[in-house]
Structure 1
Amino acid sequence: MSEPAPKAAQPWLYRLIEPDGRPSLRRRLLSSLLVPLMVLLVIEGLVTYSGALFYANHVHDRDLADDATTLAQMLSQEDLGGQISPQARFLLEYAPEGHNYFSVTSQRHGLLAGSAELQPAPLSAASMDGEPALFSTFVYTPSQKRRELRAATVRIPNLRDPSDQLTVTMAETLHDRHQQAREILLLSIPAQAILIASVFVLVLYGVRVGLRQLDPLTARLAAREHDLAPIGDADVPVEILPLTRTIDGLFARQRGMLALQERFIADAAHQLKTPLAGLRVHVERAQADPSKETVDDALQHILRLTQRASRTSSQLLALTRAQSPDMGDSSTHCLLDLAQLVPELLGLRVHDAIAASVDLGYEGPAGPVWIDGDRISLQELLDNLIDNSLRYAGRNSIVTAGVSVVAGGACLSVEDNGPGVPPAFLERLGERFFRVPGITEEGTGLGLAIVQRIAERHHAQVHYLASSGGGLRVEIVFPSARTSKVVG
């Protein structure tokens, strides 16, 4: 199990919500909800302010247009000649916050009343019929302050001069509009904050209640001692099914490892019992009769039994490695050329073949024969096949290792011209501790079982056949190579 990352390497948010460095699912769930809720509150405030400002603009634009239309109607109904009384000017320019502006301009005579800096907007044909045109622009007031104004403009005929037209413009600052939008926002924020806080409390309660669904599973696992049975999906929430299924997979691997260990202990006890009993017998015989002949004979038997026990333990360890789950890890496989690998490995066994008076040879194609495999385990596979042939084929026999290309893959074969195996026992050659009845040569019955397990790890098939010379032929058929890179 990996250690938690140091606090300095963790994100600042996790260090904030997990100050003790221990991960908490509850705290992370709440923090993942709290941050979006805060962002949602900010977004909601912006949307509320935009909506309030839009509404304030609509109301003020309508009032501004009404003021411009009213002034235009007053000028058109009375022959004022564009003159505005001081009292009317005060009312037109007065605003509780800020300042209002107006102007009355003649098409022929220019400005008649109001602010000269206020420029009327270009009017369409509809505006000439009395409909106001609204616009937004920047003007400079007499105090030289830059202000943004919203104006409504309407055009009416000049009663004193029928050939002339008057343009009436009413304008105001945007201060009141923004002020009203801010007031609406301030009124809505508390209600929104209360709503979000209520949602957060409900989420907190929901997370707490939801995590309680894990209590039965926790209690069930805590009640176990050495039980590695699968957890199952009965009372497991859907969200953590991947976790429990991963744990079930781990339990399955642990059961396999425990079964492998128990099998190894049982096999070791079974196979080492006879050599150890023989050692004890010959030691007691040497102690009972200390004569040189008896001691020498006992030492010869002890040496032979020790070699047998050593070979048995080596074979048991090899079988355990072949059955280990780690052996099936495809990450250790690489692209191997059997036509190059097999002759190299056979060269290491030449001295053993000479000592056993066996003619050891090789047959294979000139070109490469690629498979996906692990070099070390394939060496152990070939060594066990060669050992089996050297031990049981007999002296002056011929053993041939071959490599060939077959449909859908590659074939590694080891063939001898020894006494062979009766057809009734060929199918049992891959079983642990199986030895063909009637064979007098010493052996553990594990060599071909190791070959069988290593072949299974490589997704290969093992075939036990009678050779053309009357002996035994073992074929290992590997699937086609799938990797695309040669790993040295």
Structure 2
Amino acid sequence: MLVLLLLDAMLTYAVALSYSNHVHDRDLAGDAQSIAALLQHDALPGEISAQARFLLDYDPAGRNYFDIRSRQHGLVSGNGHLHGPTVHAHIGQAPILFDTRLGHTPLRAATVAIPDPRHAQDVLDITVAETLHDRHMIAREILLLSVSLQLLLMLLLLGLVWFGVDVGLRGLEPLTRRLARRERTLAPIDDSDVPRELLPLTRTIDTLFGRLRGLMALQERFIADAAHQLRTPLTGLSLHVERAQAHAHDPALRDALHHIERLNARAARTARQLLALTRAQTPHEDEQDRAIIDLGTLVPETVGDRVHEAIAAGVDLGYEGTTEATPILGNAGALRELLDNLLDNALRYAGRDGQVTVSLRAADADGGPRIIVEDDGPGVADEFLSRLGERFFRTPTSHGDGTGLGLAIVQRIAERHAASVVYARAPSGGLLVDIRFPAMSITA
């Protein structure tokens, strides 16, 4: 708009200057005709009448000039040496308007021809000229007045646009709030409060959501079916390996069977984790599966179930919890799955003679309850902390038999409970995982 204002100012000045030139040219021609009339009727021989002299010298600023020339005798009177037009004016003809100069000063002049009252055969050329100062001054005044009004109108227009856009966008707030509250749902957008102009956009988004729902359903069904189909042969393979180990006397055969058993256990664990991940990232969850759960009871029970496994692995597993009730609204099975995966990860990387500590902190003024699991293992480099929770991601320094799905399951279950997961370096150098539930978990 500023560029348009500049272009408009240039155009306005050109139009104003043209109008000013037209008015001044008309006045200049009128002055020349008036002086000619006075000279014809009132002039004495060899003199210019007082009325004519007054008209010619009326400008005290010295911006007006006149010149009376006889075509036979030359200059009769004048206050400037003006050059006449390139073409002689004719008696009885309208004044000739032309541009000329006096020294370095540009002038606009008008010339009219009359018979010389003193010499019947002679002709007087009366030239009246003025500088361009007044013309430009009037054009500038018109420009300033016009630009001031246009600037005021522009400011009013900007205010109206600002107000209109603000009011218009305010109608999007209900839709924005509803979309912000969505977590993983791909249900169609309710367009009851959507402005009519945005309906094509929301319907296009609904179409995209429908395609994504179909793709996600296919993916989840494939993973679930594949994992389910793998469980049966893996279970049978494990039973046959146990039978073979019971009757194998060759040390090389027993060692091979032991490796087969380990690989089979790893494959079975991967299948279980794929099923768990599929359940964790399912877009819909039945409300009947949610209940008020006391983390002060669930967390120590889950930790207690893993004590024997920790002792067998040579890991010191400890629990530090609050004695206060710590209720949240959630799914008990999913939360146990979350804790089991955190403990699996911590026990595996803590290693023999390592320490794993599970802490439960009650809700405070800064937020809701928190579950913290830390170990004193090798930890994770800072540049990889942000990638923990991605499916199948394992740090380059990982040498265990993990699948890269455990923390992904933790991430998805935490999201289903509106909790955040923070990965950091533990004070002992290992990995610290902090699950932070919201203060109002019952809205999750």
> TM-score if structure 1 supplies the norm length?
0.47
- Match in the other structure for 1:212: 170
- Match in the other structure for 1:136: 99
Q: Does 1:172 align with 2:130?
A: yes
CA shift at 1:162, angstroms?
A: 2.6
Question: 2: CA distance between counterparts of 1:104 and 1:196?
Answer: 52
Match of 1:109 among 65, 73, 83: 73
Moved more, 56-65 or 81-90: 81-90
CA shift at 1:235, angstroms?
A: 5.4
- Match in the other structure for 1:271: 229
Question: 1: CA distance between counterparts of 2:142 and 2:248?
Answer: 116
- Match in the other structure for 2:160: 202
Question: 2: CA distance between counterparts of 1:76 and 1:300?
Answer: 137
Deviations 1:209-228 (A, max 9, x none): 11113223212212323211
Distance 1:165-1:56 versus aligned 2 partners, 3 A rule:
same
Counterpart mapping for 1:282-431 below 5 A: 282-286=240-244, 290-292=246-248
Question: 1: CA distance between counterparts of 2:140 and 2:213?
Answer: 69
Amino acid at match of 2:95: P
Amino acid at match of 1:67: D
CA shift at 1:172, angstroms?
A: 0.8
Question: 2: CA distance between counterparts of 1:82 and 1:49?
Answer: 46
Question: 2: CA distance between counterparts of 1:96 and 1:40?
Answer: 41
CA shift at 1:238, angstroms?
A: 7.0
Q: Does 1:192 align with 2:156?
A: no
SS state at 2:105 partner = strand
Distance 1:291-1:92 versus aligned 2 partners, 3 A rule:
closer
Amino acid at match of 1:133: I
Amino acid at match of 1:43: L
Percent identity reads 53
- Match in the other structure for 2:20: 56
Question: 2: CA distance between counterparts of 1:234 and 1:81?
Answer: 98
Question: 2: CA distance between counterparts of 1:52 and 1:202?
Answer: 30
Question: 1: CA distance between counterparts of 2:225 and 2:250?
Answer: 32
CA shift at 1:201, angstroms?
A: 0.9
Moved more, 235-244 or 181-190: 235-244
CA shift at 1:250, angstroms?
A: 5.7
Question: 1: CA distance between counterparts of 2:34 and 2:235?
Answer: 126
Deviations 1:330-384 (A, max 9, x none): xxxxxxxxxxxxxxxxxxxxxxxxxxxxxxxxxxxxxxxxxxxxxxxxxxxxxxx
Moved more, 84-93 or 128-137: 84-93
Amino acid at match of 2:86: P
SS state at 1:39 partner = helix
SS state at 1:120 partner = coil
Question: 2: CA distance between counterparts of 1:87 and 1:77?
Answer: 11
Question: 2: CA distance between counterparts of 1:304 and 1:59?
Answer: 108
Question: 1: CA distance between counterparts of 2:41 and 2:49?
Answer: 15
Question: 1: CA distance between counterparts of 2:18 and 2:109?
Answer: 16
CA shift at 1:284, angstroms?
A: 3.7
> TM-score if structure 2 supplies the norm length?
0.51
Question: 1: CA distance between counterparts of 2:53 and 2:259?
Answer: 130
SS state at 1:128 partner = coil
Distance 1:266-1:296 versus aligned 2 partners, 3 A rule:
farther
- The 8 Å contact of residues 97 and 176 in structure 1, kept in 2 or not, is answered as no
Question: 1: CA distance between counterparts of 2:183 and 2:85?
Answer: 88
Question: 1: CA distance between counterparts of 2:40 and 2:163?
Answer: 70
CA shift at 1:80, angstroms?
A: 3.5
Counterpart mapping for 1:200-279 below 5 A: 200-231=158-189, 236=194, 244=202, 247-248=205-206, 251-252=209-210, 254-279=212-237
Amino acid at match of 2:47: Q
Match of 1:67 among 27, 31, 49: 31
SS state at 2:186 partner = coil
Deviations 1:164-211 (A, max 9, x none): 211111111111121222223333333322222111111110110111
Question: 1: CA distance between counterparts of 2:147 and 2:216?
Answer: 64
Counterpart mapping for 1:463-482 below 5 A: none
Gaps of 5+ in 1: 1-36, 141-145, 313-488
- The 8 Å contact of residues 272 and 309 in structure 1, kept in 2 or not, is answered as no
Deviations 1:253-293 (A, max 9, x none): 64355324422332223321232121232234345xx3448
- Match in the other structure for 2:58: 94
Amino acid at match of 2:102: V
CA shift at 1:107, angstroms?
A: 1.6
SS state at 1:171 partner = strand
Aligned length: 270
CA shift at 1:135, angstroms?
A: 1.0
- Match in the other structure for 2:114: 156
CA shift at 1:99, angstroms?
A: 2.3
Q: Does 1:38 align with 2:2?
A: yes
CA shift at 1:40, angstroms?
A: 3.1
Gaps of 5+ in 2: 269-444
Match of 1:118 among 82, 90, 93: 82
- The 8 Å contact of residues 98 and 175 in structure 1, kept in 2 or not, is answered as no
SS state at 1:153 partner = strand
Q: Does 1:83 align with 2:83?
A: no
CA shift at 1:92, angstroms?
A: 0.8
Amino acid at match of 1:226: R
Query: Over aligned residues, Cα RMSD in angstroms?
Result: 4.0
CA shift at 1:306, angstroms?
A: 11
Amino acid at match of 2:44: L
Distance 1:296-1:112 versus aligned 2 partners, 3 A rule:
closer
Question: 1: CA distance between counterparts of 2:77 and 2:88?
Answer: 23
Distance 1:224-1:95 versus aligned 2 partners, 3 A rule:
same
Question: 2: CA distance between counterparts of 1:291 and 1:99?
Answer: 128
SS state at 1:112 partner = strand
